[in-house]
A and B are shown apart, each in its own frame.
Chain A
Amino acid sequence: MITAAVVIVCLMFSVYMWMASIEFGIALLRLWPRLDTGKLVNKLFTPMWEVTNVFLVFGFTGFAVLFNNALVPISHAVLPTLAVGVTALLLRGSIVLYLFYYRPKEQGLTPGNAAFALANFLVPASFTAVGVYLLTGQAFWLTASGWSLMAMAISLFAAMGWAFVYLRAGHQAGLRLQWLARACIALFALIGSIGVQLVVSRDAPHLLTLTFSVVSLLAAFSILWQGALLTTRRADHGMWWYLSAVSLAMPLLMAFANRPWLVYGQHTLEQAYGAQAYGMAVLLGLGAIFPVMAIGWGLLAWLLTHDKPPTSGASGV
């Protein structure tokens, strides 16, 4: 039951971070229009991205109700960090509405676009900092392993953002965008495969488990794949899906690497788990979301990828 709880909570955060990274890439394109030769921003930027916050809510609420025994000390410790993210989240709502309805086509280094990009960075960064706290038992700025784990997560986040707009756009993307995406992927690969291992082995050896090694291997493989693509001069959408899979798996792998701890050195998973009476119901409920979402998203994907029929007066499926 505890393992299932960990899996479900991590998956919720994974989905949120995945979607947040896409929105970060869109925000960066608004800042640097020279990269946006395909005019992707006009197609991709929509305030409906705010709905992705619900995965953040699921993850946080799931964490709070399932591991409630440790909620008081954890909330006390992470409040300063999360206060930044929560404020950025609230401001981002205003910024999105303003940009979408008043400045939808505005690109370049304007205050609105800069604030949008900053907010899209601060929110996931603050939640990543909470994750690092759980892994090390301390604020990330206090240890070298905290910094290296943050660097790994942020480089993956940035890589995902650029890779989405480059690799999904395909031939429409400019050359600069392609190389930026590749550079971020390479940075993630280096930090994830070598850098973080070196630091963690000195600073947080408890993380050096098999699952942590898998993380490093996944990071290393990304640069091998990218190198192969470069030599063949192909833009491969498979790279995007690979990075997506890595980012979705990352929180779970890190959580497993941290076992049996929920917060290293302070609270074990077993001590923190409190939802004895209805844990299964919560997990079933959260798990049941996905089939329902699949139906909805399936319909949505169909609508987004199929052109409208000509207006002949007849419409319908």
Chain B
Amino acid sequence: MGRALIGDSLGFHLLIVIFGVGLPLLISLLELYGIATKRPRARALARTWAKALVILFIVGAVSGTIISLQLDLLWPKFMDFIGETAGLAFVLEGTFFMIEAVFLSVYMLSWDRFKPIWHWLCSVPIVIGSIGSAIFITSANAFMNNPQGFKLDAQGNPVDVNVAQALFTEATFTESFHSITAYICSTALVLLTIYVWLYMKKRHAADRSWMRKVMGGLAAVAVVFGILVAIAGDLSGQYLAREEPHKLAVAEALMETQTNAPLIMGGIIDGNEVKYGIEVPSLLSFLATHRFDAEVQGLDKIPPEDRPPLIIHYFFDGMVVIGAAIVVIPAAYLALRKWRPAWAHRKVVLIGLLACGPLALLATELGWMLTEIGRQPYAIYGVMRTSDAFTTSDAVMRLGILFPVCYVLLLTIAIIILRKFMHHEGMTKS
């Protein structure tokens, strides 16, 4: 029940966080572009996107509040431990969020009242706030995956705490780099999906020329950040091989420790093995260490009671395959625009672009499911099991039923409002 509750909350919140991190940066860059090139259309578009950001920000504020309260109420032993070690991360995350919130209000109210460059400067704290809060909440998660900066006494309590070491681990860097670039890439792709969908509607035929420019820009952003996601993913893979070999072993369904470890793609999980997967010899060793003959730890080195569920193999494969597709498709679109413009806006290409937005969201969700379920059965790896971290109160059953219903309601209303916003505000206005 505890895993389900926090999983519901985090899964929902993540959908909003993606835009909470990606949209401020895109809006800020777009407005700066408009100012620098003296293009009022670009500024007008930034203003439209900012209004959508406000709606999503409000939803994110609600879900984020719920998660913080859930952690304190439902996972008190976990928070007790974190409170002694890396709790500062939660405080700093909230601080950056507050900066973002206040300056978002200033930004929205000052469009016609500040000079453009001063108005754009108001977007900078929003970007800093969004990325800062993402980094610090990710650092808390990094601590959970690879706890450092403390020793345990005989009773299992943390002593000799080094807060900086607890907050800023190698996992903090790899997770933050990977997740933040993924959020920005996903945001660009979702916006691209929206504009492709509008482009395909006949009633927006008059705006198609302008929309093609927007689509090109968004595709370029998606490709650039998609490549960064891939680089971050490579760094993450090497990190996992060094510091979290259990997670890599399960993600890759590597049963035995071996050199020249093969990469298993796809397949069907059958008990404790993966059948019918495609094996590429030595590729896992190379991805993990950049050496084909390196040893990669398998599940045989992990006691059965400490192994994460093998299902994360699907999450990993899904994330990688989708991640590759959503970079290749917009890259192909850009290439067609450059060298075969007549083909670039054919239906088959547009449908491919249309799929990229939802797929990007799915890939991001799969990535976080991989990292969280891959840490099981631990809440703090090697220190505290998930079953020990959860509350013993019976009242949690009521929440278990209510919360998913409330989240579905909130998401439904948010989507309805965003659709209404798109129609009436005019995502196509220039």
The interface of chain A, by Cβ under 8 A from chain B, is 47-48, 50-51, 53-54, 56-58, 60-66, 68-69, 71-72, 74-76, 78-80, 82-83, 86-87, 89-94, 96-98, 101-102, 274-278, 281-282, 285-286, 288-289, 292-293, 296-297, 299-300, 303-304, 308-309, 311, 315-317
Are the C-beta atoms of A79 and B91 separated by less than 8 Å?
no
Q: Which of A79, A304, A315 contacts B115 (CB 8 A)?
A: A315
Are the C-beta atoms of B118 and A317 separated by less than 8 Å?
yes
Q: Is B95 at the interface (CB under 8 A from chain A)? A: yes
Complexed CA–CA distance, A97 and B55 (Å): 8
Stretch from B29-37, B238-246, B409-417 that touches the partner = B409-417
Are the C-beta atoms of B102 and A293 separated by less than 8 Å?
yes
Other A-B pairs, 13, CB within 8 Å; known A64-B87, A71-B79: A47-B54, A48-B54, A54-B61, A54-B101, A65-B91, A68-B84, A90-B406, A90-B407, A97-B413, A276-B161, A277-B163, A296-B102, A316-B113
Query: Which residues on A sit within 8 Å (CB–CB) of B113?
Result: 303, 308-309, 315-317
Are the C-beta atoms of A72 and B61 separated by less than 8 Å?
no
Interface size class of B (residues with CB under 8 A): 35 or more
Q: Which of B97, B112, B402, B413 contacts A54 (CB 8 A)?
A: B97
Stretch from B64-72, B292-300, B342-350 that touches the partner = B64-72
Residue in chain B with minimal CB distance to A69: B80
Complexed CA–CA distance, A191 and B315 (Å): 59
Complexed CA–CA distance, A285 and B88 (Å): 9
Complexed CA–CA distance, A47 and B62 (Å): 11
- Of all A-B residue pairs in the complex, the 3 with the closest CB atoms, nearest first, are A68-B83, A65-B87, A296-B102
Query: Which residues on A sit within 8 Å (CB–CB) of B355?
Result: none
Query: Which residues on A sit within 8 Å (CB–CB) of B74?
Result: 75, 79
Are the C-beta atoms of A316 and B58 separated by less than 8 Å?
no
A219 to chain B, nearest CB (A): 30
Query: Which residues on A sit within 8 Å (CB–CB) of B58?
Result: 47-48, 50-51, 93, 96-97
Query: Which residues on A sit within 8 Å (CB–CB) of B409?
Result: 91, 94
Q: Is B106 at the interface (CB under 8 A from chain A)? A: yes
Query: Which residues on A sit within 8 Å (CB–CB) of B64?
Result: 57
Complexed CA–CA distance, A277 and B165 (Å): 12
Given contacts A61-B90, A65-B91, contact A86 B105 (CB under 8 A): no
Are the C-beta atoms of B65 and A89 separated by less than 8 Å?
yes
Are the C-beta atoms of B392 and A86 separated by less than 8 Å?
no
Are the C-beta atoms of A65 and B90 separated by less than 8 Å?
yes
Are the C-beta atoms of A86 and B66 separated by less than 8 Å?
yes
Query: Which residues on A sit within 8 Å (CB–CB) of B105?
Result: 48, 51, 296, 300
Are the C-beta atoms of A65 and B88 separated by less than 8 Å?
yes
Q: Which of A64, A281, A316 contacts B114 (CB 8 A)?
A: A316
Are the C-beta atoms of A296 and B103 separated by less than 8 Å?
yes
Complexed CA–CA distance, A286 and B90 (Å): 11
- Between-chain CB contacts (< 8 Å), 25 pairs: A51-B58, A53-B65, A54-B94, A57-B64, A61-B94, A64-B71, A68-B83, A71-B83, A72-B77, A75-B73, A76-B76, A79-B395, A82-B69, A93-B61, A94-B409, A102-B420, A274-B84, A275-B87, A277-B85, A282-B88, A285-B88, A293-B98, A303-B106, A303-B110, A316-B115
Are the C-beta atoms of A86 and B69 separated by less than 8 Å?
yes
Query: Which residues on B sit within 8 Å (CB–CB) of A285?
Result: 88, 91-92, 95
Complexed CA–CA distance, A78 and B82 (Å): 20
Are the C-beta atoms of B392 and A76 separated by less than 8 Å?
yes
- Of A61, A308, A315, the most chain B CB neighbours within 10 A belong to A61
Query: Which residues on B sit within 8 Å (CB–CB) of A86?
Result: 66, 69-70, 73, 399
Query: Which residues on B sit within 8 Å (CB–CB) of A102?
Result: 417, 420
Are the C-beta atoms of B65 and A56 separated by less than 8 Å?
yes
B146 to chain A, nearest CB (A): 19
Q: Which of A51, A66, A71 contacts B61 (CB 8 A)?
A: A51
Given contacts A87-B406, A316-B114, contact A278 B88 (CB under 8 A): yes
Are the C-beta atoms of B66 and A89 separated by less than 8 Å?
yes
Query: Which residues on A sit within 8 Å (CB–CB) of B407?
Result: 90
Residue in chain A with minimal CB distance to B77: A72
Query: Which residues on B sit within 8 Å (CB–CB) of A48?
Result: 54, 58, 101, 105
Are the C-beta atoms of A72 and B76 separated by less than 8 Å?
yes
Residue in chain B with minimal CB distance to A98: B413
Are the C-beta atoms of B80 and A274 separated by less than 8 Å?
yes
Complexed CA–CA distance, A91 and B73 (Å): 18
Are the C-beta atoms of A64 and B79 separated by less than 8 Å?
yes
Are the C-beta atoms of B91 and A61 separated by less than 8 Å?
yes
B403 to chain A, nearest CB (A): 7
Query: Which residues on A sit within 8 Å (CB–CB) of B54?
Result: 47-48
Q: Is B351 at the interface (CB under 8 A from chain A)? A: no
Q: Is B228 at the interface (CB under 8 A from chain A)? A: no
Q: Is B109 at the interface (CB under 8 A from chain A)? A: yes
Are the C-beta atoms of A97 and B414 separated by less than 8 Å?
yes
Q: Is B396 at the interface (CB under 8 A from chain A)? A: yes
Residue in chain A with minimal CB distance to B117: A316
Query: Which residues on A sit within 8 Å (CB–CB) of B417?
Result: 97, 101-102
Beta-carbon contacts under 8 Å, B253-301 to A: none
Are the C-beta atoms of A315 and B91 separated by less than 8 Å?
no
Q: Which of A83, A281, A296 contacts B99 (CB 8 A)?
A: A296
- Of A56, A71, A89, A285, the most chain B CB neighbours within 10 A belong to A71
B420 to chain A, nearest CB (A): 7
Beta-carbon contacts under 8 Å, B313-364 to A: none
Complexed CA–CA distance, A66 and B91 (Å): 11
Complexed CA–CA distance, A274 and B81 (Å): 10
Residue in chain B with minimal CB distance to A12: B94
Are the C-beta atoms of A286 and B62 separated by less than 8 Å?
no
Query: Which residues on A sit within 8 Å (CB–CB) of B386?
Result: none
Complexed CA–CA distance, A275 and B90 (Å): 13
Are the C-beta atoms of B88 and A68 separated by less than 8 Å?
no
Are the C-beta atoms of B109 and A303 separated by less than 8 Å?
yes
Q: Is B428 at the interface (CB under 8 A from chain A)? A: no
Are the C-beta atoms of B83 and A286 separated by less than 8 Å?
no
Are the C-beta atoms of B94 and A71 separated by less than 8 Å?
no
- Of A69, A93, A317, the most chain B CB neighbours within 10 A belong to A93
Q: Is B393 at the interface (CB under 8 A from chain A)? A: yes
Are the C-beta atoms of B83 and A64 separated by less than 8 Å?
yes
Q: Which of A68, A93, A299 contacts B62 (CB 8 A)?
A: A93
Query: Which residues on A sit within 8 Å (CB–CB) of B161?
Result: 276-278
A57 to chain B, nearest CB (A): 5
Q: Is B15 at the interface (CB under 8 A from chain A)? A: no
Complexed CA–CA distance, A87 and B161 (Å): 36
Q: Is B423 at the interface (CB under 8 A from chain A)? A: no
Q: Which of A57, A69, A300, A315 contacts B68 (CB 8 A)?
A: A57
Query: Which residues on A sit within 8 Å (CB–CB) of B392?
Result: 76
Complexed CA–CA distance, A279 and B125 (Å): 26
Q: Is B391 at the interface (CB under 8 A from chain A)? A: yes
Are the C-beta atoms of A65 and B79 separated by less than 8 Å?
yes
Are the C-beta atoms of A61 and B72 separated by less than 8 Å?
yes
A97 to chain B, nearest CB (A): 5
